[in-house]
Chain A
Amino acid sequence: MAVDRLLPTSEAYDLLDLVRDICAEQLAPRVTQAEADSAFPRDVFRLLGRTGLMSLPFDEADGGGGQPYEVYLQVLEEFATAWMSVAVDVSVHTLSSSALARFGSQEQRRQWLPGMLGGDQLGAYALSEPQAGSDVSAVATKAVRDGDDYVVNGTKAWISHGPHADFWLLFARTSPDPKTGLSAFHVPAGTTGVSFGAPEKKMGMTASTTTQLLFDDARIPAELRIGDEGQGMAIALSALDSGRLGIAACATGLGQAALDLAVAYAVERRQFGRAIAEFQGLQFLLADMAAAVESARATYLLAARLRDAGRAFGRPAAVAKLVATDAAMKVTTDAVQVLGGYGYTKDFPAERFMREAKVTQIFEGTNQIQRMVIARSLLRDLPR
């Protein structure tokens, strides 16, 4: 069922209409097969780029859509209801473009942003490493200054759509200090010395290729460093605050898909001579699912509105990521329950939703890390 959304402008309503059309006509018909085949839908991102849906939250002056997060995130949510992998990859592209848009020099912005936001390109985010997941300070990939270049060596892990990207936002170590030793780089595809590992064999989101990104004496011109040397950690974390909102919206959309499926099934499926939806035991399950999805939506929208108003939103973003992804896990699991044995088969998407939900509790900061962020903000005044 179409979600009844409260949007700030009439153009946002038109935008959501366009998004729903594209979801129904271009995403929904393809998702099952592409996920079964682990086939990355590069052409879908070209269509989304051409229609201006890959750059909604960026300034119009930079080639973006000039939309507030409140609107951008609801678009992501719609994508996720139709196709989770696509929605997450759009969110990753936003994350990967945001560093240069926010911290890039005038010259960098002028040179790179039109292409990054103009339609055809896809960006990836290269922070994690095999030994550096939750602990970003353990990043070991080194960028050593050599004349006008940096020479980069190391292994980045878990890079979403890494091999399909046109550019990577890379975080590498320029000095040994765990906190102030990281720097950010804009790395265009085709840079020599960059290669990929084999695609990870994942539990879900199989259409979104995840690989290692290997740097072997890759030369990156110093002019592609974003911000100052040592500013990398700050850039990574600021991008992640917004990225978490993206994941919260995706998780909400996924929960909505599971809820819609469960309701439709419960009305059709008959046992004991009536629709199973007539049993109060099942109605309460559905009601709890709806409550979880709607509170997830309310939570990410609050954080988004704070962000749009220029207020601090780090803690509400962590709350949103935690609430929305835990809700998605619960709701998708319950959707399998509502479908009974059929829910446990690949004939229905409930089991896929459940597999897709799991990763939202893990990436862009595990939910343990979100709790740490929330607690740290609560206990700022705790004497140490």
Chain B
Amino acid sequence: MKIVCCVKYVPDATADRKFAADHTVDRVGVDGVLSELDEYAVEEALQIREGADDCEIIVVTVGPEPARAAILKSLQMGADAGVHVVDEAIHGSDAVGTSLVLAKAVERQQADLVLCGMASTDGSMSVVPAMLAERLGLAQLTFGTEVAVDGTTVRVRRDDDAASEIIEATLPVLISVTDQANEPRYPSFKGIMAAKKKPVQTLTLADLGIDSSEVGTEAAWTKVEEMRARPPRSAGTIVAADDGAGAERLVEFLASQKFI
């Protein structure tokens, strides 16, 4: 079996988030990491491989040079090989453009299973898995909280507030998993050493047969017009309690803010 995991390199959520002059997320000048939500996809792939006889895991990322770190982290966790699509012209692509590039890169792998995280931690659109499945002509089982592969049958549980549903499909399929699906492992030190020797293929748009006019800022269906940093949090309200009437005032405050 061949599994492709799509992973994204995102700015480290614990560091300062910066934006470039064209209002795109700055992915070059800041510390980045493998998107935490994609770690669940990699972990899911690793767990599926543990139960399979012969299984190869390829991670695919689209992003500038530093995005290679997302591949490396996945390889350290245990994936077998990486594909890095890097091309100046991809800069500024929206989900539609990104899904096109990903689809072309994934298509070549002839995978039985494509795994994605449920969303990226920077864009948070959640649409790329669906778009990708559509482009690849694969059944899409999104937001999986439990994945079981048995031969060519996959079963995915989806949970929402009201109910859980079990969806079944036959390979090949695309699955996106939530942060409830598993507990991503830390790479082991042996994994870190082994990752250095694992193959990573670098591809350009030309390699994938994509015309640069199909992607990038110009081709995007949407445009970020304006962008403002969220105003710093204002100081909290202190409810004095030393005269014994604190509880009353607290209730008043909460009611006035419609919290209760």
Contact = CB atoms under 8 A, between A and B. Distances in A.
Interface stretch (B57-65, B189-197, B204-212, B247-255): B189-197
A191 interface: no
Nearest to A24: B14
Interface in B156-210: 185-193, 196
Instruction: Report, as a range, how many residues of chain B touch the other chain.
Output: 10 to 19
Contact of B188 (A11, A21, A51): A51
Nearest to B186: A51
Contact of B186 (A14, A47, A56): A47
A15 B189 contact: yes
Contacts of B192: 11, 14-15, 18
Interface in B45-80: 76
Nearest to A10: B196
Contacts of B193: 11
Interface in B86-137: none
Interface string A53-67: 100100000000100
- Where chain B touches its partner, the secondary structure class is helix
Contacts of B190: 52, 65
A22 interface: yes
A51 B187 contact: yes
Interface string A28-59: 00000000000000000001001111001000
A65 B190 CA distance: 7
A65 B186 contact: no
Interface residues of chain A: helix, strand, loop or mixed (majority): helix
A18 B186 contact: yes
Interface residues of A, number: 13
Contacts of A50: 185, 188
B195 to A, nearest CB: 8
Contacts of B189: 15, 18, 51-53, 56, 65
Contacts of A15: 189, 192
A222 B54 CA distance: 44
B186 A22 contact: yes
Interface string A1-17: 00000000001001100
A52 B196 contact: no
Contacts of A53: 189
B37 to A, nearest CB: 16
A11 B186 contact: no
Residue of A11, A15, A22, A52 with most partner-chain B CB within 10 A: A52
B227 to A, nearest CB: 30
B186 to A, nearest CB: 5
A65 B192 CA distance: 11
B38 to A, nearest CB: 16
A56 B190 CA distance: 10
Contacts of A65: 189-190
Contacts of A18: 186-187, 189, 192
B163 to A, nearest CB: 33
Contacts of B185: 50
B76, B191, B192, most chain A CB atoms within 10 A: B192
Contacts of B187: 18, 51
Interface string A234-254: 000000000000000000000
B244 to A, nearest CB: 26
Interface of A: 11, 14-15, 18, 21-22, 47, 50-53, 56, 65
14 contacts: A14-B76, A15-B189, A15-B192, A18-B186, A18-B192, A22-B186, A51-B186, A51-B188, A51-B189, A52-B189, A53-B189, A56-B189, A65-B189, A65-B190
Given A18-B192, A52-B191, 9 more contacts: A14-B76, A15-B189, A18-B186, A21-B186, A22-B186, A50-B185, A51-B186, A51-B187, A52-B189
